[in-house]
Amino acid sequence: MILMHLIRKERMNVSLIFSFAVGIFAATQLAAQSPSPILIKAGRLLDPRSGNVLSSAAVLIENGKIKEVGPVSQVQPHVPAGAKTIDLGSATLLPGLIDSHTHLLIDPIAPAEAERARHYNGSFAPALLLAIVESPSKRVFLGEQMAREDLESGITTVRNLGHSGIDGDTELRDAINAGRTVGPRILASARKLITRSSYVQSLNPALAEAILQQEFLLIDGADRARQAVRENEFQNVDVIKVTADENLTVPELVAVVEEAHRAHLKVAVHAVDKHSIQTAIDAGADSIEHGNEATDAQLKQMRDKGIFFDFTPTSYGDFFTKIFEGTIAMSLKLRPERLGSDKRTKQRYSDLAQQLLKGAPFPDASAEPYDRQYDNLVQRVMKSGVKFAAGSDMGWFYPGKTRGQASVSRFPTLHEAGMPSLDVIRAITTNAAEMLGWQDRIGSIEAGKFADLIAVAGDPVADISELERVRFVMKDGKVIRNDFQEKDSK
């Protein structure tokens, strides 16, 4: 008995020692995994919401979140021992940019003129079909590259609105969240909900359903609309994307909105023409994407209902001329036509700006060329009081630019169309965060929010093109890029 008692006692001691050792090891590992606090110092910090600029600014970061923001003299005493300091000199700090409308899993090259002429939606449909028939694995690798390039250019959050296959963007999102790859925060929508008349048409009848189902969920009546939402919900999406056209009915879209809201998901509706915009308004969409033909009456309805207007100035200016130049797409006939159009666009913008400054009324947009219409649209949205954000709608190969550089290049065009620089910045920070329903997490540099920060050398309010020259990027308290010479770090 005594011997057995001693054996049992020895086993208990060994067990206690082992448990203690395991506890010490786990605590050590946890300490090793927990990042050290970081103090970021910069000459200026812009608060997009108020427009205020804090000079000699400091941001204290712990465990990937912002703990304190203020003047260096106020924050410095609260910095714990062992913290790392990143001194950005005279740079301007801003919250990470939010691209509220993008397509990370496509990167089509514009087809040649003759090929475009053969197809409905000829600039996009052929390239989209090529993407659909690619291996899903290949598309995810493409998406990983596009996501990384967006992040490196200062876009720390994106809302990916379709053209990602069945689960491309949800899987990419999960891989980024798990730390298996690097990229921005992603709100994923999986497959777009469309009517049968949208995008690609006249496919081989024997293959049409299989092709479409790789990229879209078809709406054909209210019941199928609800089912489509549930299929995306099963894929664990963050948002529902719908393309509205003249064949989408209000009851069908109401069914989508009701089913999505039941699952606490917002509904973003692609709507370009007046009819589709009205369908989206009547059905209670959360945001209207593009909205090019919105009337003043419709903007008032959107304002009164709290519906966001999401600008997508993708093709404003010389965008398509640039992407055509990188291919064999432009014939000797088309090239001078494109260049002439770009020149006339710049002159029209200059003339319009001068007229508006002198108090002239807004011109009738319906008969104007696209860029003049967009100038008019921007001015009317600003005047209406409707909530607005902005997305790049980037889904094109842009020669000479990374995806991130191409995406960020779209935002300054809103300023060219008449939007003040500060409002452009709001559209891709605080406003976008509210539209996404993430205003408690991102969009501004405030205590408790994710440490998603960028910095530029100059003043982006004075020169909005500074956004195209982001030199410091941080996401989750981790430095992604720092092109500044750090004065003091440890």
Q: Which class is 38-95+448-482 in CATH?
A: mainly beta
Residues 6+ apart with CB under 8 A from 30: none
Q: Containing H/E element for 373?
A: helix 370-384
Helices marked H in 155-271 — which ranges? 168-177, 208-213, 222-234, 250-262
User: What is the torsion angle, in degrees rounded to the nearest 10, for the CA atoms of residue 202, residue 208, residue 214 and residue 217?
Assistant: 80
Q: Which of 12-26, 112-126, 246-260 has the lowest mean pLDDT?
A: 12-26
Check: CB of residue 163 under 8 Å from CB of residue 214.
no
pTM: 0.86
- The residue behind tokens 């020895």 is 10
More confident residue, 352 or 57: 57
Residue 195 to residue 210: CA distance in whole angstroms: 15
Helices (H), 109-192: 113-117, 125-132, 136-152, 168-177
CA atoms within 13 A on the CB side of 409: 19
Is residue 22 pLDDT above 50, yes or no?
A: no
User: What is the assigned CATH class of domain 97-410?
Assistant: alpha beta
pLDDT tens figures, 373-429: 788 999 999 999 999 999 999 999 998 899 999 999 999 999 999 999 999 999 999
Residues paired with 42 in a beta bridge: 57
The region, left, alpha or beta by phi > 0 then psi within -120 to 50, assigned to residue 461 is alpha
Rounded Cα–Cα distance for residues 314 and 406 (Å): 10
What is the edge-to-edge ordering of all strands in the sheet holding 185-188?
Answer: 97-102, 155-160, 185-188
Give, as one character, the DSSP assignment of residue 465.
Answer: G
What are the domain boundaries of the chain?
38-95+448-482, 97-410
